[in-house]
Structures are given as C-alpha cells and as structure tokens.
Amino acid sequence: MTTRTQVTIIGAGPAGSLLSHILTLHGIDNLVVERQTADHVLSRIRAGVLERGSVDLLTRYGLADRLLAERFVHEGINIAYGGRSFRVDFAEGAGSSVTVYGQTEIQKDLYAAIGAEDGTIVFEASNVAIHDPTTDDPAVTFIVDGDEHRVESDFVVGCDGYHGVSRPTIPSSILRMWERVYPFGWLGILSETPPVNDELIYARSEYGFALCSMRNEMLSRYYVQCALDTDVEDWPDERFWEELARRLPTWAAERLVTGPSIEKSIAPLRSFVASPLRYGNLFIAGDAAHIVPPTGAKGLNLAISDVAYLAEALVDHYERNDGTGIETYSDRALDRVWKAVRFSWWMTTLLHRFDDDDAFATKLQEAELSYLEGSPAARAALAENYVGLPL
C-alpha cells in the first residue's frame, strides 16, 4: 500500500514526537514510524534535566501544563571533591535555572498531545528502509502486521537513535563521524526514596565519580562510576548504597535514605557526532546524529534544539517558500552540538577517575576544581553552559 504525506518521521521518541506535534500545529501533514511499542518507548528511563530553552519551547507549543505544575526548579548544583563541597549558583552566574522533569513524563505529554490532534504514529514497524533521499520524492517502506507499506513524502526526518536506519542511509563517502569512548560507565539505580538533596550533587572521590539526582520528591536517581565490564548482578542494592555513600561528602552521606531499587542498569559513556545532518531531503536529529555523556545533562536538550531548528526550517519552507533554514540546518545544529560536546567532555574529565591518570593528572583535576570553587567567573561559565546556550 502506498500513501503520501509531507514529512515522514522515523522514530517516536522525544525528538520525533516533538517534531510531529510542531508540524501538526502548523498544518503540515506528517507520519511517524516507530519500530517499538508505545509502552516500550514510555518505559525508557532517561534524562530528567531540561535547559531553560527546552522549557520555553515546550511551553510555546502547549506541552508544559503538567511540566510547570509538577517540575522541580533547580537554581544550582553542588560539586564535591577532596572532602569538601561547593555550590554553583545558576541564578547568580547565568540569571536562570534548570528544570527537573523526567523524559518519560515528556513522552507521555507528547503522546497525549499527538492523540488529541489525531496525529498518526505507526508503532511496531519492522524492516524500515529509506529510498531515494536525494530526489523530490523520498520514500519510507516498512512492514506492520505482515503488510508492506510505502510512504512517499517531501522530506524524511530520522529521529531513530544511534542504531536506526537513517544515519547509515547517508553514504560513507559523505558522512563523517567523530567519537570518544570513555573507559568507564555509570551504574545507576532508581529508588522510591526521598532525594538526598534538593539539588544535584556531582562528587569526585578517590573511589570514582558519583551523582545524586531525582525524578520527584519520592523518586531518586543515583549513579556511581564503574568499569565497562561491570555485571549488574554483582551489585546488590546493599553494595551500591555503601559505595555511593563513601563517594559522597559526609553531610550528604549522613542524609542518604536507602531502599530497594526499582531499576538498575549500566550506561557506557561516549561522545559521538555525525556530519552532515542533511543528505538531500533526508535529515537526522537527536541520538541519530549525536550522543554525549550524561555528565552535562545535554542529550535530551540537544534533541530538542535540533527539532527547534528543523521545525523552523520546515515551517519556513511550507509557509513562506523560504529554503534558507533547510540549507543551514546542519551547520546551525552542529554548531550548538559541538559546544555541548565540549562542555560534556569537560565535565566528564573534571569529575571522573581515569585508570591511566598519574599523580600529575590527578593534581590538575584537583587544581581545576579548586579554581572553579574560588572563581566566580569560572562558576558563571559552568552555569551558562549548564542552563543552556541560546537556541
């Protein structure tokens, strides 16, 4: 069966769903194709920190009612090292704040909005393939319930993640990729316990990095740096809590409330950027185009900024016959991506222990942290990047 729409979007995660919602509000026909079930997409435990620009965008497009009612507003973070800790004040350094609101909740809000608009998401689509992306009639084919479907459109947008089909559709002779794989991961747990602090704690210790985060007032998210070959089965809850406590400053460890984990997993850390983000009438966005370590809380926010630029470009094309945004999308998005990659790399190297670090490297880390603690200008630079550079 062959159908036609204006924009075909591959991937119904936050990037693809948000783009679909914005296009629909502008009267641009679109179809979203997703290989997983809706329940699977909603079950992903992902990011929870939103930049000010991300919140503004979600608000502008009518997606923030529940977010604004239930969110936690954080005006700083705490950094611990060498037995002491200090606070980076976002309001003082950048005149803004960040919002803690889980990605799962954003996804729920997006699906509710798309459903209310009678938008179309095709779930459980297998054998997804992109055809003729450099022509005026690119097509996406897929199979649902044994039936083959072909959707022709003006544009195809790949929001299908690192392992999706969209990025590999760009010929290797054109596509460039940069990658930095870090020699460790994060062992994370989710627990129905009150957060240890009302703001995030980033801790560097002789035992490795730790992060204290939260999803709500009775749902905490904690991480400890671990080896890449770590087996989750070797980390019962009791061992995790003990390891977390010894990496935290004393004041935080004494306030830590422990309990059974409801989710436990290991996430490797890496930086990855692909270029260009456009090939003919195919665009890629979000994790299909770039991945950053979670240290700087940038992954979801970069997906949102990609969508902001691409939605603006497509609206200009359809409403004003202006192709400038389409021509500049890749360069515009990548400029912001690389700045976020730099910040995430800096935060990661600042706070983690590397196996090959010698005494000199350790002293440099300590000096950098001491400088950050004592310098208002350095803290302001961190705050500016953390709350988010302008969209």
Name the residues annotated as catalytic.
Answer: 74, 202, 294, 298, 386
- Structure-block tokens of residue 107: 């996804």
Quote the CA–CA distance of 34 and 111 in Å, as a whole number.
13
| C-alpha to C-alpha distances, 90 to 52, 96, 214, nearest whole angstrom | 11, 6, 18
- Paired residues of 151 in beta bridges: 3, 140
The contacts of residue 211 (CB under 8 Å, 6+ apart) are 186, 200, 201, 202, 203, 222, 223
For tokens 């991961």, name the residue: 185
Radius of gyration, CA atoms only, the chain: 22
CA atoms within 13 A on the CB side of 137: 6
356 in helix, strand or coil? coil
Query: What H or E segment, with its residue span, contains residue 382?
Result: helix 376-387
Q: Would you call the peptide bond into 171 cis, given omega within 30 degrees of 0 as the criterion?
A: no
